[in-house]
Structure 1
Amino acid sequence: MSTLTIAAVQFDISWLDKQSNFDRLEQLFKDHFTDHAAADLLLLPETFSTGFCINRKDVQEPKDGSSALHWLKKIAKQYNCVVAGTVLVSQNDKKVNRFYWVFADGRVEHYDKRHLFRLGKEQDFVEQGQHRKIITIKGIKILPLVCYDLRFPVWSRNRQDYDLMVNVANWPAPRRHIWDTLLKARAMENQSFVVGVNRIGPDGNDMPHSGGTTVINFDGENILSATDHLQQIITTQLDFSKLDNFKDKFPAFLDADKFELVKVVSKS
């Protein structure tokens, strides 16, 4: 395996102001990166262009011609990296919370958020994603998750099909200790590197966010963390040969229970 350089953006998202978010992010990149090939993967928080506003029909983008998607393509090409973040995209009579992964050559992959936040009535406005996704960068296999997905370990169970788990979120400050705890738990139980990317600041509903953007080792130890309440980019290089060595010495995955995820269709 090779190494992968990760840049994670802890960002105070302007509510429903895409252009302001694009402009401020571009300034952050300009201030942080000394060259245009500073990372292999650049990660943005959930709904980075608008904030987590799910109940308005004007806060969604078409599948084609998305301004946020065009912007992601521009940044990926400019910095010669993969750029990833979620956007609310029209689908049927609702929308999906779509985690775009945009490559420097213009290729796009995506994962649609599976677990919808019932307390916030996300399921009333957003369609549930149906497919688990693995994305490969430089030979490294990555499991993308979005916010509330973090609470559901069966969906994220490592069947030796990924090396790195990434979760991008708008995880609120009152439940911050759960975010911190579950990120470490997912790393240890799955013997995987984990990157969590969260926003800061109050959203349009006055819900506060304290951050907690972090990179965690496969044994649950923090490698690097952002400062709470501070808008910043953290960058680190992950060495996946260390993960291989760890799993060789402690092959707990060989004793894992086998299972299969099935789609349940309710009867009308």
Structure 2
Amino acid sequence: MKITVSCVQLLPRLGDKQYNLEKMRSWVETVMTQYPKTQLIVFPELMTSGYEGTPEMFQELAETLPDGESMRLMGELARKHHVHIVYGFPERDPVLTDVLYNAAVLIDSDGKARGTYRKVHPFADEKRWCRAGCGFPVFDTEIGKLGIMICWDTGFPEVARCYALQGVDLLIVSTNWEDPYADDWDLITKARAFDNTLHLVAANRIGNDGGTLSFFGHSKIMDPVGREIAALDEEKEGVISAEIDLSLTQKERARYYTFFRDRRPDVYGEIVKPY
């Protein structure tokens, strides 16, 4: 199956959800004008809020699935253009309402919020405001089985491998990967695609929130053996888009990259022991 995917590389405004939602709305329209065959749009991590906020700010801006403010707006756009949309936001637990997650939501092409992925590996100061997720949900859609990772998760080979073992067709990364680690980012996006013979699409942000961090972009679309199909390796807002052939995964796994056929899970016990 061939699908067209687009990654949007943006600078959000810290704490200004309305500004960020309007920017996302505008870029969805831009993508669908420039690349009308797009079936999946990916935005960066914490796109609705910005990154270097306080716990109080994230509490104020958090949303609960399925009818948060951003989900209603993105749902309308997804339904209008018959496109899937993934973006990062602070999620409020529907039961334990003081508990937040650094999450990414999948809006399907009917405009429905299908569910969230909650970041399993919060990084540094994120731990001040969000709780770690505890699973790797697979979203079975009309464009294939999708697995979502958020930023630091990409640095853990186990995350992408858990998705691969569940049969996903595509790895999606919504990220705020920071300076000066662009070389690391370029390497791990290639590695996670290659490790699992899966296409990988990743949207990173740019700029800064006026705090201590800055972000460099380098949004990527990778093929199943870790080669770049498209990239935006400049610190500027923009979009990359490509048609990808998801059937290449099985072809490459049968042709040469027999990682899954040759696996020896009976001898891998060390990797799940506490360090």
Q: Scaled by the length of structure 2, what TM-score is found? A: 0.86
Alignment gaps of 5+ in structure 2: none
Provide the identity percentage: 23
Residue 18, structure 1, aligned to residue 22, structure 2? no
On the 8 A contact 1:54/1:126 being kept in 2, the answer is: no
What CA distance in whole angstroms lies between the structure 1 residues aligned with 2:249 and 2:3?
13
What CA distance in whole angstroms lies between the structure 1 residues aligned with 2:47 and 2:210?
13
Residue 154, structure 1, aligned to residue 163, structure 2? no
Distance 1:257 1:204, change over 3 A: farther
Q: What are the Cα deviations for residues 46-102 of structure 1, in whole angstroms up to 9, with x where unaligned?
A: 111111235223232244542111122122112211111121122223201221101
Distance 1:76 1:32, change over 3 A: closer
Q: Secondary structure at the match of 1:86?
A: strand
Q: What are the Cα deviations for residues 89-122 of structure 1, in whole angstroms up to 9, with x where unaligned?
A: 22223201221101132332221111111x22x2
Q: Secondary structure at the match of 1:42?
A: strand
Q: Secondary structure at the match of 1:252?
A: coil
Q: What are the Cα deviations for residues 147-181 of structure 1, in whole angstroms up to 9, with x where unaligned?
A: 11111111221216112111111111212221111
Deviation larger for 20-29 or 175-184: 20-29
**What does residue range 153-232 of structure 1 map to in structure 2 within 5 Å?**
153-157=157-161, 158-159=164-165, 161-232=167-238
Deviation larger for 66-75 or 184-193: 66-75
Q: Which amino acid aligns with 1:256?
A: R
Deviation larger for 35-44 or 171-180: 35-44
Q: Which amino acid aligns with 2:92?
A: S
Aligned with residue 247 of structure 1, among 243, 253, 262:
253
Residue 99, structure 1, aligned to residue 104, structure 2? yes
Q: Which amino acid aligns with 2:55?
A: N
Q: Scaled by the length of structure 1, what TM-score is found? A: 0.89
On the 8 A contact 1:37/1:81 being kept in 2, the answer is: no
What CA distance in whole angstroms lies between the structure 1 residues aligned with 2:219 and 2:22?
21
Q: Secondary structure at the match of 1:72?
A: helix
On the 8 A contact 1:114/1:129 being kept in 2, the answer is: yes
**2:32 counterpart residue number:** 33
- For the aligned residue pairs, the C-alpha RMSD in angstroms reads 2.2
Aligned with residue 265 of structure 2, among 258, 264, 267:
258
On the 8 A contact 2:151/2:175 being kept in 1, the answer is: yes
On the 8 A contact 1:11/1:232 being kept in 2, the answer is: yes
Alignment gaps of 5+ in structure 1: none
Residue 69, structure 1, aligned to residue 71, structure 2? yes
Aligned length: 259
Q: Which amino acid aligns with 1:144?
A: I
On the 8 A contact 1:82/1:101 being kept in 2, the answer is: yes
Q: What are the Cα deviations for residues 198-240 of structure 1, in whole angstroms up to 9, with x where unaligned?
A: 0011124242111010111111111100141111111111112
